[in-house]
Structure 1
Amino acid sequence: MSTLEARLLAAHADGDGMAMVALYREAAETAPTEAERAFFLTQAHVFAMEVAHPDARTLRDTLVRMGRETPL
């Protein structure tokens, strides 16, 4: 298990939504494929909305540019 995976599991266990946003974004940065990057950014966006994270809009905009979300 990678350090990132361990930190993600710990954040989930702790219910730490703010950490999950940061960790899923980190995972997206190192994702080897566009599909994996989109998956991790989607997870970051979901948790960002749940905790009213200030980057929720930016994450959504990124997903729109990737064609993974519909523009409002």
Structure 2
Amino acid sequence: MIIDTQKIEALPLSEQIELMEVVMSALIKNQDSFQPPEWHLKVLDARENEVNEPECWRSYEEVRSSLKL
């Protein structure tokens, strides 16, 4: 399948959002057959561990400053 991203970009924002909603609805119908990649499960596990370790939390200011170039 070839998707012409230029045609999608040319759509008005409201139609892009509608298209995204249609795609998400189709994905939800097939979610039981979806197997996430191993790397994604590892990322989710790492994030869950971070949530459970408050000493590793950073303030908004720390995160914001780390993102500045």
TM-score, length of structure 2 as denominator length: 0.32
Structure with the bigger RCO (C-alpha within 8 Å, sep 6+) is 1
Structure having the higher Rg: 2
